[in-house]
Amino acid sequence: MLTAAISTHGVMEGGGSYNLHAKIPAGGGSLALPYLEKAAQVCAIPAGSSAIVIADYGSSQGKNSLSPMRAAIRCLRARVGNERPIMVVHIDQHANDFNTLFDVLHSDPERYAADDPNVFPSAIGRSFYESVIPPNQVDLGWCSYAAVWLRRIPSLIPGHFMSLGCTGEVRAAFDLQATEDWRLFLSLRARELPAGGRLVVVLPGLSDTGGSGLEPVFNSANAVLAELVDERVISEDDRKRMVLGSYPRRRAQLLEPFRADGQFQSLSVENCHLLELPDAAWADYQVNGDLQALVSRHAAFFRATFVPSLSSSISDDGKRQTFADSLEQKLKRRLSDRPTPLNSFVQVMVLAKQAPTDTASAGGEVLR
C-alpha cells in the first residue's frame, strides 16, 4: 500500500502544454457554462460594497478558466453593476505552472479582466484538500475536471495505471479513498461558502455501464508502457509505481453524502446531470480525414494531462523527458492503427449552501 499523500500528483504538464492540449476538459467546461451562469444569477451576494469572491478550484494554467470566469462575471455584473469589486481566486497545487497562469491572466486576448478594471484576479498554491480561503468568503465556486484527482494513491494497480477497470481489493481501496476525499472536499468547500453561496463542480463522468469513453487511449498507453519496459526506457519497478490518482465517480457516488437528509455539511444538491461530450478532434477528422492530426491531438491530451503523474514514479530525473517523448510517439503509432473517437461524459453538480436553520432544498431536484 502507498500511504503518503503525493502532493504533486495530478499536476499538469508545464510550459503551457496543458493550456494548448486540454481541449476535452475545455469542451466539458463549455457544456457546464449554463449551470455556472444560473448559479451566478442566484447566488447570495454579500451586503454592502465588499468584493464578491469567485473561486476557481484546480485552475491549472488558466486557459480553460477564462470563459467560465468571464461568463460568471457577466452574470454578476448584470446584478450589481460595474463598480462593485469582483475578486477571482485561482487555486491549484503548489507545483502547478503558475507562471503560465499569470501570463494568461495578463496577456491572453480572452482574459476576463481586460475590459473590467474592477475585477481582481489572484492565485493560491495550496491543495483543495485543505482550507484554501477563509470561512464564508466564496460567493461562487467553480471546479472543473479537478476534483477527479484523489488526495492520495491508495494502492498500486497490477497490470494497469488507471483505477477504472480494476477489481477486488484494489478497486475497494480506490472506492474508499474516493468516498473519503469527496466528503473532505465538500466539507472544506462548505466552510468557504456563505449561506446562499453556490459551487459548480464539473467532472469527467461515467456512463451507466461504468465507461468513461477514454478507455481507448488509456489501454493503448498501458500497452505502450509495457513496450517501454521491454526497451528499457523505464525499469520494471518504475512501471509498477505508475498509478494515476484520477478517479471518475459514478453519479450515485457523488450523491452518497447527501442521501441521509438531502444535505451534507449544509450543502444541498441543486443539479446533478450527466452530459455527453462528443470528441471534437474526431468531428474534424470526419471532415478532413487527417489521421495524423487526430492521433496527435489525442496523444498530446494524454501527455499534457497524465504523463507528469506517471513520470513522477521514475526515480532517475534525467529519464523523464525521454519517457514522455517516447510514450507520446508510440501512443500516436498505436492510436493510428485503430482510430477511435474519444466520446466522453461530463458530470455537472451544482451545490447550494443553506442557512443553518433552512433545512429545505434550495429548489433543486429531489434526491431520494
Distance between CA 44 and CA 353 in Å, rounded?
A: 10
**What are the grid coordinates assigned to 37, written together?**
451562469
Strand-pair category, 267-277 with 344-353? antiparallel
Nearer CB in complex with ligand SAM: 197/245: 245
Of positions 35, 98, 112, 145, contacts ligand SAM by CB under 6 A: 145
Nearer CB in complex with ligand SAM: 296/305: 305
Q: Which residue has the cell 493560491?
A: 124
What DSSP character marks residue 112? Answer: T
Q: Which stretch binds ligand SAM (CB under 6 A): 58-66, 171-179, 221-229, 343-351?
A: 58-66
Nearer CB in complex with ligand SAM: 233/304: 304
Of positions 17, 60, 100, 347, contacts ligand SAM by CB under 6 A: 60
Based on the number of CB atoms within 10 Å of its own CB, is 168 exposed (0-12), middle (13-18) or buried (19 or more)? exposed
Nearer CB in complex with ligand SAM: 29/121: 29
With contact defined as beta carbons under 8 Å apart, do 122 and 90 qualify?
yes
DSSP class per residue in 257-281: GGTTTSEETTEEEEEEEEEEE--HH
Residues with Cβ within 8 Å of 168's Cβ and at least 6 positions away in sequence, in order, are: none
Q: Which stretch binds ligand SAM (CB under 6 A): 31-39, 40-48, 53-61, 217-225?
A: 53-61
Residues 235-254 within binding reach of ligand SAM (CB under 6 A): none
Residue 59 contacts ligand SAM per CB under 6 A: yes
Strand ordering across the sheet containing 52-57: 119-125, 86-92, 52-57, 140-144, 198-204, 344-353, 267-277, 263-264
Residue 218 contacts ligand SAM per CB under 6 A: no
Q: How far is the CB of 60 from ligand SAM (least distance, A)?
A: 3
Q: Which stretch binds ligand SAM (CB under 6 A): 8-16, 153-161, 171-179, 259-267?
A: 8-16
Q: How far is the CB of 81 from ligand SAM (least distance, A)?
A: 29
With contact defined as beta carbons under 8 Å apart, do 240 and 225 qualify?
no
Show the beta-strand stretches assigned E in 98-252.
119-125, 140-144, 198-204
Residues composing the chain: 368
Q: How far is the CB of 310 from ligand SAM (least distance, A)?
A: 14
Nearer CB in complex with ligand SAM: 137/144: 144
Residue 27 contacts ligand SAM per CB under 6 A: no
Q: Which stretch binds ligand SAM (CB under 6 A): 85-93, 266-274, 294-302, 341-349?
A: 85-93
Residue 64 contacts ligand SAM per CB under 6 A: yes
Nearer CB in complex with ligand SAM: 149/264: 149
Distance between CA 224 and CA 230 in Å, rounded?
A: 10
Nearer CB in complex with ligand SAM: 30/271: 30
With contact defined as beta carbons under 8 Å apart, do 318 and 238 qualify?
no
With contact defined as beta carbons under 8 Å apart, do 268 and 262 qualify?
yes
Based on the number of CB atoms within 10 Å of its own CB, is 3 exposed (0-12), middle (13-18) or buried (19 or more)? exposed
Residues 256-315 within binding reach of ligand SAM (CB under 6 A): 305
Residues 96-115 within binding reach of ligand SAM (CB under 6 A): 96
Q: How far is the CB of 182 from ligand SAM (least distance, A)?
A: 12
> 113-142 mask for ligand SAM (x: CB under 6 A)?
--------------xxx-------------
**What are the grid coordinates assigned to 293, written together?**
492530426
Show the beta-strand stretches assigned E in 126-261.
140-144, 198-204
**What are the grid coordinates assigned to 104, written together?**
494568461
Q: Which stretch binds ligand SAM (CB under 6 A): 38-46, 89-97, 188-196, 355-363?
A: 89-97
Residues that bind ligand SAM (CB under 6 A): 10-12, 22, 25, 29, 58-60, 64, 91-93, 96, 127-129, 144-146, 149, 305
